[in-house]
Amino acid sequence: MTSTLSGDPRLKSVDRAIKKNGARGDALLEVLNTAQESFGYLSQDLIRYVARELHVPLARVYGVATFYHLFTFKPKGDHTCIVCLGTACYVKGAGDIVAALEAEYEVKSGGTTADGRLSVTTARCLGSCGLAPMLVLDGAVLARNDANSTLERVAVVLDGTPAQEAD
């Protein structure tokens, strides 16, 4: 695939949802929902990927995605932090990470700061439980975080330095 998605680890959870729901009538909705949870929004590349993998016409995917208001096609804030709240991440403290972000930036999970600089969302298992607690900051997958390291990393990104992936 020659898109910006090539090799993106967040596709793992999308692929899992495709495998799990592929034959079901409501697969498209489920898969789009998982895709949005994993990426924060539905990019054109992601919509094309889902259409191709589910063997559904692109127009139908756009039709469903635009019909339901829960889907969004642009990242909301300038920066996006997605915290995995799947079981493995949760038991290792992902809830504390969300709470710390909400307190520090006065934003509710699923929302964007008043200045539009940071969106914070949560996702179910992102498919890399060995990296728990994990988060995706502006597309960079960050492993084994805690509240303090997350706040530090987010502050660096808000200062204009791209997130550095670490294993």
Residue number of the CB atom closest to ligand FES: 86
- List, in sequence order, every beta strand (DSSP E) within 7-158: 79-84, 111-112, 118-123, 135-137, 140-142
Name the DSSP class of 107.
-
| Smallest separation, CB 147 to ligand FES (Å) | 16
Closer residue to ligand FES, CB minimum distance, 16 or 48: 16
Closer residue to ligand FES, CB minimum distance, 17 or 89: 89
Footprint of ligand FES on this chain (CB under 6 A)? 84, 86-89, 125-129, 132, 134
Closer residue to ligand FES, CB minimum distance, 9 or 111: 9
| Smallest separation, CB 143 to ligand FES (Å) | 9
126-152: buried (b, 16+ CB within 10 Å) or exposed (e) per residue? bbbeebbbbbbbbbebbeebebeebbe
Q: Could you give the 3-state DSSP secondary structure of residue 51?
A: helix
| Smallest separation, CB 120 to ligand FES (Å) | 16
| Smallest separation, CB 110 to ligand FES (Å) | 17
Best CA proximity match to 22, nearest among 55, 64, 47, 59: 55
Closer residue to ligand FES, CB minimum distance, 88 or 156: 88
